[in-house]
Every structure is written in C-alpha cells, then in structure tokens.
Amino acid sequence: MPVARELLSNHPSSFLKRGLLALATLAGAGLLAQPASALPSFSDQTGDPCSACHVGSFGPQLTAHGRMFKLTGYSDGTRKRDLPLLSGMAEWSFENTAKGQPGGAASGYGDNNNTAFDQISLFLGGRIYDHLGVFSQTTYAGVSHHWAWDQSEIRYGREVELGPVDSVVGMTINNTPTMTDPFNSTPDWGFPYAKSSLAPSPAASALLEGALAQRVVGSTAYGLFDDLIYAEAGGYRMLTQLNRHETLGVQPTDGPIVKGTAPYWRLALQHETNTYSASFGTTGMIADVYPGNDNSAGTDRYADYGLDSSFQWHANKRHVFSVNGSAMAEKAKLDASNALGNSGRDRSYLGTYHLNGSYYFDQTYGFTVGGFKSHGSVDSTAYAPAAISGSNNGKPDSTGYILQADYTPFGKEDSWGGPWVNLRFALQYTGYTKFNGGTSNYDGNGRNASDNNTLWFLTWFAF
C-alpha cells in the first residue's frame, strides 16, 4: 500500500478525527491507570538502556539513536515486553529564593524555603502496531492540586526509499506545538528540562513557547530525507470547551483561544557522523487568537519565527558535550486586546533567546550552563506594576542564567533495577540580571531582579 494512503487511511479528516479520539482515549487511560512502571517502557521494548537514547541516561535530551527511535514512531524493537505500555515518573523538590514572596509562593505554601511534591505523571509509551506508537502523559500537579492530560501524541513513522534517497516519513497527532521535534533546541524540549513551580518567572514569552501546550490538537506530517533535511508541516486547532474542561482537565481561562487553524512549520538541516551530530533549523506558527477568552472584539494575530541550532560531540561513551541555541521573534497585531483595554498598543514585538551547553561524564555526572534573554515593545497596560509579577516601566525585558549539576546513578546497561528504576538528583541555580524590565524596583513595589534568584534541588524518579 502506498505510504500516503496508509498514513491517511483514505481521507485526512477522518484520520485526524480517529486519531484525536484515540489520543483522548489514551490520555484518559493514563489518567485512570494504576501506577505500574515508567517510560522505561521504551527501554523494555527495545532492550536498550536509557543511556542509548538519552544523554545522561535520563530524558529528555536525545542522542542520535533516540531521535531515530522517535521519528520511526516509537515502534523500534522486537523484544517481548515484560510489562505493558505503562510507565510513570514523580518529582519532589526544595526551593529557595534570594528574597521571599510575601503572601506565599503559591496557595498553601510559605514565603520561602518550600518543599513541594511537584508532580506525578503516568505514561502510555511504545509500539501499538508496526510503525505506529504512542507517547501519552497524564500529570497530577502537586502545587495546583489537579489532574490534566499532558504532552501526548500518536505517531506513525517508517523508513522508505524515495528514488535514490533513504528517508523517514511519518505523521503525528499531538497536543503541543514543537513536541514532535527530534531536537532539543526548540521550545518544548529545550533546557531547562525541569524547573521550579514555585519560583517567580518572567512575564513575557512567545506564543510558541508553551502558551498553547495541551490546549490544542494538531496533525503534522514530517520527513527526514537522506539523513540531511528534516521538514514538518501541519496545523493546530483548539479543543472544544467540553474536552478541555471536563475530560482533559484544562480550563478555558488558562490561556489564549485560537480561532480556526494555526499553521505550523519546521525545517532543519542535520549532519551526523560517528563522533558528532549537528543541526540548524527554523520553526514558526501564525495564529489568530481571542484574547482572554473574549471574542467580542475580534482576534489578535501572532506570528512567531524561530531559528535554532544544536551540536553534540559523542566520540566515546564516557564523554558527551552538547550545545543548543535558539532565537524567537514574535510580531503581534493586537487589535482586539487594544480595543478591550488589555494592551496599550495595537502592534508589538517580542524577541527571546536561549543558549546552553552541557557536559556529561560516564552518562552519570552532568553539568549545564545556560543563558536567556527577552526584550520587546513597551506596554504599560499589558505589563503594569504589580508585586513580584509586574513591571514598573512597562517593559517585558528579562536576562539571566542557569547553572545545573545532576547525578543519575541508574539507566545504564548494567544498572540495578533496569530499566524500571531510574533516578536523577539535580541542583539548579537561576540568576537574574534583569527581570520584567528592570534591575532594581522592577515591579514598583521595591523588589529587585536578583531577589528572584532561585536555588532548586530536585529529586526526579522514573519507574
């Protein structure tokens, strides 16, 4: 059967509807499942240790082998599974900020020095059928105390010959833009791979940097041609209010509402050898959005354009160096927000930048250094003074750095309890030189950018 026909099953819209139903069913199954095992289900399926697919023996940073496993639909491996597709993970952490947050870091928490059960996630992960697999996560957020579906996709992918060119082609149905990407230089899988739920965070980020995560459903088609060119394109639509709220645990007021279909695209060049791999690419999305879940004044239009690159040196198993960088430019027409009084401008710009480098020794000990920056149009209405979260000068500009050291004792070929026991300890420090437009008294209430510097200790368990 031709690949296109096999992918679309006679009609693309019917494929999308069936896929969405299956995706929601799988997410619901994860929600109701009893804790059993964890995304070690991939390792159990293939017979490979976690270190074969992940730098540092723990996700989500992928090796070349891990990227190919993802592109071919999570279906590689013929080993009979000891346990089903079920997996899980849990996070517990301690958070300290340089200055406490008056009134509490969150409901039920103190001003500072908080311990938190950040989340527990249940997964369905692995091969469903030849070339067809699933990654579906359902998460209980310990800080906000509720269940919701998390990153989820159904993916079909296979190796084919297109004339003289060896290729991989596939299709996904997923709920988060950029989660389908095989590189760790795009927003969804970029560093930091985990962060505190209680620490202050900058007010501004681009739409493609998580604002639509789990609030939409999309279908994309992709191909990797001659191990050189990666291309992906598709579109995303909002879930119905019933599915968002009652079935999947996502509140309509949690974020923007997309009108119609938002097109998404991705193009990258990659090169791999036995000792290193490198990529350079672009990604983007255009979306018409009802601001604040209010459609009385029409829509705003967001256009996000990104550039990213990655480099990974892996000459031997004991030493792995990685560098990832990205830049995102967002241009917004805020006609609706301006009319509703949510913005003092009808046009705005936001630029965000991320760069990080990591070194892992023996797939066990890791150290990462990262930097980030955002800058954009002044808007005293959208970025108004407010304690901790506000801006005294209406600027969204923030600059800082992240230092992280981690230790992963398991996940190797001879590890105890493998593949069903994995554990990471991480110590992360985030420092700010500018926060929401200022260095001192940035919020109009006397708080300085450095007051938000955060020390975070994480225990991350996969089972």
pLDDT of 5 above 60: no
- Best-predicted range by mean pLDDT (31-40, 236-245, 295-304): 295-304
CA dist., res. 173 & res. 171, Å (int)? 7
- Look at residues 135, 173, 225 and name the one whose alpha carbon lies nearest to residue 9: 173
Mean pLDDT of 335-342: 96
Provide the pLDDT for residue 244.
57
pLDDT band at 28 (very low <50, low <70, confident <90, very high): very low
Mean pLDDT of 20-43: 51
Provide the pLDDT for residue 371.
98
Provide the pLDDT for residue 304.
98
Q: Which two tokens stand for residue 185?
A: 């230089």
- Whether 396 contacts 384, CB under 8 Å: no
Provide the pLDDT for residue 95.
98
Ramachandran sector of residue 414 (left: φ over 0; alpha: ψ -120 to 50; beta: rest): alpha
Q: Which two tokens stand for residue 332?
A: 């917004």
By three-state DSSP, how is residue 29 classified? Answer: helix
Provide the pLDDT for residue 145.
92
pLDDT of 197 above 80: yes
pLDDT of 34 above 80: no
- Whether 119 contacts 90, CB under 8 Å: yes
Lowest mean pLDDT among 250-254, 371-375, 408-412, 435-439: 250-254
The residue that leads in pLDDT, 249 or 98, is 98
Provide the pLDDT for residue 362.
95
Q: Considering Cα of 381, then 386, then 392, then 395, what sign does the dihedral take?
A: negative
Angle at 328 between CA 325 and CA 331, to 5 degrees: 175
Provide the pLDDT for residue 23.
55
CA dist., res. 435 & res. 438, Å (int)? 6
CA dist., res. 351 & res. 373, Å (int)? 8
Lowest mean pLDDT among 3-17, 89-103, 153-167, 279-293: 3-17
- Whether 226 contacts 166, CB under 8 Å: yes
Q: Is the pTM of this model over 0.85?
A: yes
Provide the pLDDT for residue 6.
35
Provide the pLDDT for residue 77.
84
Lowest mean pLDDT among 4-8, 96-100, 174-178, 202-206: 4-8
Mean pLDDT of 272-289: 97
Provide the pLDDT for residue 255.
77
Residue bearing tokens 């990153």: 151
pLDDT of 9 above 80: no
Provide the pLDDT for residue 81.
66
The H or E element that residue 340 is part of is helix 335-340
Residue 222 CB neighbours (<10 A): 21
The residue that leads in pLDDT, 303 or 29, is 303
Provide the pLDDT for residue 247.
67
pLDDT of 204 above 50: yes
- Counting residues of the chain whose pLDDT is more than 70, the rounded percentage is 88
Provide the pLDDT for residue 240.
75
pLDDT of 29 above 60: no
Q: Which two tokens stand for residue 134?
A: 């699933």
By three-state DSSP, how is residue 35 classified? Answer: coil
Provide the pLDDT for residue 243.
56
Mean pLDDT of 86-106: 96
CA dist., res. 137 & res. 123, Å (int)? 5
Q: Which two tokens stand for residue 91?
A: 């996070």
Q: Count of residues for the chain?
A: 463
Q: Are strands 146-162 and 132-141 parallel, antiparallel or unpaired?
A: antiparallel
pLDDT band at 420 (very low <50, low <70, confident <90, very high): confident
Residue bearing tokens 């090169």: 271
pLDDT band at 293 (very low <50, low <70, confident <90, very high): confident
pLDDT band at 39 (very low <50, low <70, confident <90, very high): low
CA dist., res. 136 & res. 116, Å (int)? 24
Angle at 194 between CA 192 and CA 195, to 5 degrees: 90
Domains and CATH numbers, the chain: 3-462 (2.40.160.10)
Provide the pLDDT for residue 11.
41
Mean pLDDT of 266-280: 97
Hey, which bits of 294-447 come out as E strands?
Answer: 300-316, 319-333, 347-361, 365-376, 398-407, 422-434
Residue 207 CB neighbours (<10 A): 24
